[in-house]
């Protein structure tokens, strides 16, 4: 099986689905994290290029902690837009990687990059199987898309839960590779106030989710197609 997470920013996969990715990697599945941007807006008094360089290096280290392959696209942080050109770029990425399942952002999210990424991935998933929608690679149809979301999102109500109690430590290790972002999110406050005490907050949320399923730690997802949760374990 091949599991691909398509996320807007370098730390998103680790925070929202890192335990699930690590669990699949430990099963022997191929795991890829596709980063839409290099997160160049997520920094202090420095240039976008310097922030992007730091965050790309951190993302590669985090992916390694999860036994995943890192792949970077060239969208611009805070400026991902919905267009046919961008949709077709993701169609070609899906066709090239040929994942069985895709993990990505839920549609209801404060961050505009998360919302647009969710829509682009959903529509690219549909188009990837169409033979007449021509790109550089042959058509491919993943089995399903699973959405992760912030606990503060009003509409996000997980239906599939992954017990990743044995992977929580690796998830936290991956998050801590984003050293610049641990500092940024804790200092930023305001719109990212839910991330005050980043690792502690992520751990608390995973414990809360796990408690509802009889697990120490768990991650929750909403599937695009219902009744096929056996693909995500």
Walk me through the domains of the chain, giving residue ranges and CATH numbers. Answer: 2-225 (3.40.50.10320)
**Residues whose CB is less than 8 angstroms from the CB of residue 58 and which lie 6 or more positions away in sequence, other chains included:** 10, 11, 177, 178, 179, 180, 181
The DSSP H or E segment spanning 223 is: strand 218-223
Residue 191 is predicted with a pLDDT of 41
| Tokens describing residue 124 | 């690219």
Give the chain's count of helices (H) and strands (E): 7, 7
Residue 224, φ and ψ in degrees, nearest 5? -65, -50
Query: The dihedral of CA 152, 158, 164, 167: what is its sign?
Result: negative
Residue 88, φ and ψ in degrees, nearest 5? -65, -30
Residue 193 is predicted with a pLDDT of 47
Per-10-residue mean pLDDT of the chain, 233 residues long, equals 97 96 97 94 80 92 97 94 97 98 95 96 97 94 95 86 96 92 63 63 93 94 78 65
Residue 190 is predicted with a pLDDT of 44
Task: Write down the residue that tokens 């044995």 correspond to.
Answer: 166
pTM for this entry: 0.92
């Amino acid at each position: 099986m091949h599991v691909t997470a398509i996320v807007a920013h370098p730390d998103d996969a680790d925070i929202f689905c890192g335990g699930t990715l690590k669990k699949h990697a430990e099963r022997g599945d191929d795991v890829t994290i596709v980063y839409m941007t290099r997160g160049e807006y997520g920094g202090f008094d420095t240039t976008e290029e310097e922030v992007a360089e730091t965050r790309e290096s951190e993302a590669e280290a985090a992916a390694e902690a999860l036994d995943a392959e890192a792949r970077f696209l060239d969208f611009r942080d805070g400026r991902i837009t919905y267009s046919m050109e961008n949709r077709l770029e993701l169609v070609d990425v899906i066709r090239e990687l040929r994942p069985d399942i895709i993990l990505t952002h839920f549609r209801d999210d404060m961050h505009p990059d998360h919302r647009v990424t969710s829509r682009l991935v959903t529509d690219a998933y549909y188009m990837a199987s169409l033979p007449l929608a021509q790109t550089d690679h042959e058509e491919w149809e993943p089995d399903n898309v699973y959405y992760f979301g912030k606990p503060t999102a009003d509409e996000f109500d997980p239906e599939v839960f992954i017990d990743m109690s044995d992977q929580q430590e690796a998830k936290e290790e991956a998050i801590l590779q984003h050293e610049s972002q641990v500092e940024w999110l804790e200092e930023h406050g305001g719109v990212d106030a839910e991330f005050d005490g980043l690792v502690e907050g992520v751990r608390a949320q995973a414990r809360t989710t796990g408690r509802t399923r009889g697990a120490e730690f768990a991650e929750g997802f909403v599937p695009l197609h219902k009744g096929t949760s056996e693909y995500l374990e």
